[in-house]
Amino acid sequence: MERVSLLQSDANGAREVSPARTAARVEALAKLPVFWGLEGKRVVLAGGTEGACWKAELLAACGAEVHVYAPDDTLCDVFADMLLRHAADSATGQARGAFVHHAQGWTAGVLAGAALAIADCEEDDEARAFHAAAIAAGVPVNVIDKPAFCQFQFGSIVNRSPVVVAISTDGAAPILAQAIRRRIETLLPQSLKGWSALAQSLRDAVAMRLHPGPERRAFWERFVDRAFTSVPTPQSAADLVAEADRLAAGRRETRDGPAPGKVTLVGAGPGDAELLTLKAVRALQAADVILFDDLVSGDVLELARREAKRMLVGKRGGRTSCKQEDINAMMVTFAKAGKTVVRLKSGDPMVFGRAGEEIACLEAHGIPVDVVPGITAASALASRLGVSLTHRDHTHAVRFITGHSRKGCLPTDVDWRACADPRTTTVFYMGGRTAPAIAERLMAEGMAGNMPVVIASDISRAEERRWHGTVSTMHIGIAEIGYDNPVLIGVGSVFPRASAESHMVAPDDSSECPLQRISI
């Protein structure tokens, strides 16, 4: 993972960061992923096995003219049936590509001028001979299931043509490639095939109407939102052209300045990038500017668009901190300059994220604003512990409460008596320094001193630490967890691992840390 390094800071404490180029721009590749056009090209395929049949179908689907060299008595039934079906489809104009069956074995002479050479050879001697002949003819060669005789390999594919996704493990773990393919299949709707074909047909019309850069990107971002949420209809093409016209009209109406941008408040979750929503990833990929909190993990930022301007606006000890007013002003300034802005917040932006103030400010300036929720820390804690915060055998309510007031002390506008109810699960955010006072107040309102408590920091990250104990021993737990990083305090009988004896769960230092702090 590339780390993030400081480029510059401004008077408001915001800092622009970008991926450091301390290593090669592109990491080492086992193989170069290449998508090769075969429309109308001649391909030589030697062998009549089922494995060869699958490769033949794949090549024909690409529009190739596949010359199959296999004596009739070596052509398996599956291959023979496929050739008959393809011939019938060709007669009705429904087939793609073509097959020419040569009822004989291959010879070196048939390889000349071929686009590709593929063979299924049982013996290594035959594989070696085919490999050598293809190389001598200057034709890229693949011998099925014999990596030593392959200049290229076939990967697992996800077909939403013209969108095609290929996965390769360099032959090391084909089962892993298949598992990855299955996961991608679930992410890409079948309707993507229709949308991608529509994109091809509209590209010239969009290019005629919209300027390169932010204008076209805005159109295609809206296109992508449709592609992942609906099915194309006969009216879709006309609707999209009309949308391009509207964007162009908006540009003509704002010749004295750029068309206004927009702001999206995005929840980055507790730290683990795999907990991001698909919508959050799409927002990061579409951003021109990202204003992110200090608690956002480096792995989350790695998913952002490379060209995006990144501004660190969170608080961090030892330097000037951004005030909320400064953050609001930056969002307004960038959006009015026509930028697509992502305000990236740890956890969920609507839970103790001051999102209300930011939304009000943006709406007051007429700037469109969207919100993409994230997994809040309390949900992540419950997941890590394997407990339900609303287990009906233990609780009838759950409360999320800030652990400190604006002045940094215990909040006074909290219904502490309700929090002390033994049938309520309470999770305190940002309550590290007030933890002893929280415990005292809960017990003063009648909560039993042996009520289970869990204190956690860096939830979902490799450096996560947890302490289990009780309300009466909470002061011990917070001293062990420390105050360096924000902590979460869970109080309630739903936490079954808590006991009268405190118990620390520390990160496994022996394992490689996949999530790293941003280096400033």
Active-site annotation, residues: 293, 315
Closest CA to 309 of 71, 10, 15, 97: 15
Q: Which residues contact 60 (CB under 8 A, 6 or more apart)?
A: 66, 86, 95, 96, 97, 98, 99
What are the phi and psi torsion angles at 418 (to 5°)? -65, -35
The 8 Å CB, 24+ separation contacts for 381-388 are: 381/427, 381/454, 381/456, 381/459, 381/488, 381/490, 384/456, 384/459, 384/460, 384/464, 384/466, 385/454, 385/466, 385/495, 385/497, 387/494, 387/495, 387/496, 388/494
Could you give phi then psi for residue 393, rounded to 5 degrees?
Answer: -80, -10
Q: To 10 degrees, the CA torsion angle through 474, 479, 483, 485?
A: -80
Task: Please name the helix (run of DSSP H) or strand (run of DSSP E) that holds residue 381, with its range, or none.
Answer: helix 377-385
Q: Is the peptide bond before 258 cis (omega within 30 degrees of 0)?
A: no
What's the gap between Cα 392 and its chain centre?
34
Task: Report the run of H or E that residue 160 belongs to, with start and end.
Answer: strand 156-160
Residue 519 near residue 4, CB atoms below 8 Å: yes
Q: Strand runs (DSSP E) across 300-363, as ranges?
A: 309-312, 340-345
CA–CA separation, 19 and 334 (whole Å): 21
Residue 496 in contact with residue 512, Cβ under 8 Å?
Answer: no
Q: Find out whether 455 and 467 touch, Cβ atoms under 8 Å.
A: yes
The widest CA-to-CA distance across the chain, in whole angstroms, is 94
Beta bridge partners of 360: none
As given in the structure block, the two tokens for residue 53 are 């049949």
Report how far residue 194's alpha carbon sits from residue 206's, in angstroms, rounded to the nearest whole number.
Answer: 18
Provide the 8-state DSSP code for 359: H
Q: At what angle do helices 435-444 and 474-481 cross, to 10 degrees?
A: 170
Q: Which two tokens stand for residue 472?
A: 């009466």
Residue 42 pairs in a beta bridge with: 65
Question: Distance between CA 360 and CA 366 in Å, rounded?
Answer: 10
